[in-house]
Chains A and B, each alone.
Chain A
Amino acid sequence: MNMKFNSTVLLVFALLMAACSADKKQEEGTEATTEAPGTEEKKKFTVAWSIYAGWQPWDYADQSGILKKWADKYNLDIELVKMDYIPSIEAYVAGQADACVMTNMEALDMPAASGVTSTAMILGDYSNGNDAILTRDGLGLADLKGKEINLVEMSVSHYLLSRALEMNGLREEDVNIVNTGDSDIAPAFIANTDQKAVVTWNPLVMEIKKETGVSSIFSSADIPEEVMDLMLVKTKVLEKSPELGKALAGAWYEVMHIMSSEEEKTAEAMTIMSESAGCTVEEYKEQLNTTAMFYDAQKAVDYYQGNTITEKMDYVRKFCFEHGLLGEGAQSVDEIGIRYPNGSTQGDESNIQLIFDATYMEMAAKNTL
């Protein structure tokens, strides 16, 4: 009987070991391709992105071959993967992607707060109306007191509401926040007229606004430059392979040029971008109106190097800390350090986790890529 017991244990362990070693092999596999030093083999990188007016250019860069052109120039292999927004950041934090697009808020409360040091190497745009508070029956901000408000908690929508309330002398405790998934928030709000207020982002804002009796009472245009859309690359990866930054910046600003000029390609680019966003060209253009794109690399560099960015980030990090987004155990808003291109830092200097780096955008501006 003892023998039998032993063989059971052995069997279980054998299975476990097999599972472990399989896992390891896989890990080694991906690392080998990303790190292979000094060989002719191309370094492989994965970039995750999600649908958003300000990120569609990445998809166009991929589909048009612009991204491949720039990757080839630096002898890289860049794979662009489309995902849902939050899963894409989770994949980035988990190490399944080397780079990912996200807002400055998620950059701070997801990777940076998880100790995944990240470099925000491209500032694509800031939301200039893409996020909005919409109400029925002409309710104003002051009327929201005691009302139910549907939004995705702990998202940029939550931040927007918090800022709007604060600017109007109200507190979050004065309203009733109902966490609502972004997949159903628009149809549910449109169908249920007893819901009076909703906070969401585009293209949903556009959909909801079409309803009669619904109006936007506050939007990210009222807090300009606070909700930034960034391309984040793991700092370690970027230090080891700065070519990745160069290739990404090169591809991005080539697309920016196409978008902002009136070339033949412009119309085609707009069509591709709107198709992959699931809307018409007119709708996409409408969304771009509320997206303040930094078509000109120099403008983004100037913003990065100025002082406003520090002020704006201060609002964001305070919101994150107050809502426990920097980790519920975080003792102070300064626990996570942020570094800016002008050399200044915010928070703990010995724990810099988020770096705003203008190097690559500057190269693009000076045409040295």
Chain B
Amino acid sequence: MFDIRATPGKSVSYLLPVLPFLISILFYIYASGERHKENPKDKLVPTVGQMAKGFGRTAFEPDRKGDYRLWLDTWASTKRIAISMVFIFLGVFIGLYMGMFPYLDKLLHTFFLFFDKIPALAVLPILFIVFGLGEVSKVALIVIGVLPTIVLDTYIRVKAVPKEQVIKAMTLNASTQEIVYRVVFPKIIPQVLDTIRLNFKAVILFLIAGEALAATAGLGYRIFVVRRYIAMDIIIPYVIWISLLAFMVDFGMQRWIKYRYRWLNK
């Protein structure tokens, strides 16, 4: 099993990825069973049945306000992420220009390098004071937390494009815009998309932090409200739901990058 030239067979290749999941689930069921033996009303480690019920209540039954919570929360959070993503994609262009034009490089690079080091969670109070408790502050938190990383990553990728290619394009009489958008940009975009994909985790982290502080709906909001009465039978399904959504976005993006940029790694 420690042979680096090993080629796992087909059945093993399907089985092995499932194994860690299976073990975690079995371990959970065991732990929850033990706790419930001691205290049948235990809420901290709910049984799978309790969680299924909790999930069902949030997804298919209206609460006392008449809301189907899971969908309401998912929609509220998705909207926040979508708006933040627009700004995060703008970061790609900031990085691109910063990498291409030396004056912009001098102007912005150090600033973003420093900006990137600011722990976004530490400036939360400032954000809330400046932007209020509405949607703006939540989006701002995500953008401040993730944008600099994307800018700097794009910048590094632009810098890594061989000079010869740019010079070659110039000798072929390409305009500045053509060099930026038809030579450099297509070359770096698959890797930049990969970085965005991997930073999705940070996006969710900041989303939940923002929602925990002030909101009327959202996945993070719900987790923090039901925490007040230890409704782990809702919290755990919500956590799984968030992870699952993020996993699917990640997986989908990975697939799409692989398909769209088939030429990469060839």
Contacts and interface: CB of A to CB of B under 8 A. Distances in A.
Contacts of A20: 27
B93 interface: no
A366 interface: no
11 contacts: A114-B43, A150-B214, A155-B228, A179-B225, A180-B214, A181-B212, A192-B129, A322-B64, A324-B64, A324-B229, A328-B231
Interface string A112-130: 0111100000000000000
Given A4-B1, A181-B224, A184-B124, 8 more contacts: A93-B230, A114-B41, A188-B132, A194-B132, A195-B132, A322-B64, A327-B229, A327-B231
B44 A93 contact: yes
Interface in A316-338: 322-329
Contact of A16 (B23, B53, B63, B128): B23
Contacts of A177: 216
Contacts of A326: 229
A86 B227 contact: yes
Nearest to B231: A328
Contacts, number: 119
A188 B129 CA distance: 5
Nearest to A94: B44
A183 interface: yes
Interface of B: 1, 3, 6, 9, 12, 16, 19-20, 23, 27, 39-44, 53-54, 57, 63-65, 124-125, 128-130, 132-133, 212-216, 221, 224-225, 227-231, 234
Nearest to B40: A115
A184 B221 CA distance: 15
A90 B228 CA distance: 9
A115 B19 contact: no
Nearest to A191: B129
Interface string A1-32: 10011011101100010001000000000000
A181 B213 contact: yes
A109 B133 contact: no
B228 A1 contact: no
B129 A187 contact: yes
B64 A327 contact: no
B216 to A, nearest CB: 5
A93 B225 CA distance: 17
Contacts of B133: 150, 178, 180, 188, 192, 195
Given A1-B9, A180-B213, A191-B128, A115 B43 contact: yes
Interface string A69-93: 0000000000000000010001001
A148 to B, nearest CB: 9
A93 B235 CA distance: 16
Given A114-B41, A192-B129, A184 B213 contact: yes
Contacts of B234: 328
Contact of B23 (A1, A12, A109, A181): A12
Interface string A221-254: 0000000000000000000000000000000000
A8 B64 contact: no
B42 A114 contact: yes
Contacts of B214: 150, 178-181, 184, 188
Nearest to A180: B214
Contacts of A184: 124-125, 128, 213-214
A13 to B, nearest CB: 8
B68 to A, nearest CB: 14
Contact of B230 (A11, A12, A90): A90
Interface in A156-195: 173, 176-181, 183-184, 187-188, 191-192, 194-195
A178 B234 CA distance: 20
Contacts of A181: 212-214, 224
A158 to B, nearest CB: 9
Contact of B1 (A7, A173, A176): A7
B79 to A, nearest CB: 17
A311 to B, nearest CB: 23
Contacts of B16: 8
Contacts of A282: none
A113 B229 CA distance: 8
Given A116-B39, A188-B133, A327-B43, A86 B228 contact: yes
A154 B42 contact: no
A110 interface: yes
B14 to A, nearest CB: 12
B19 A12 contact: yes
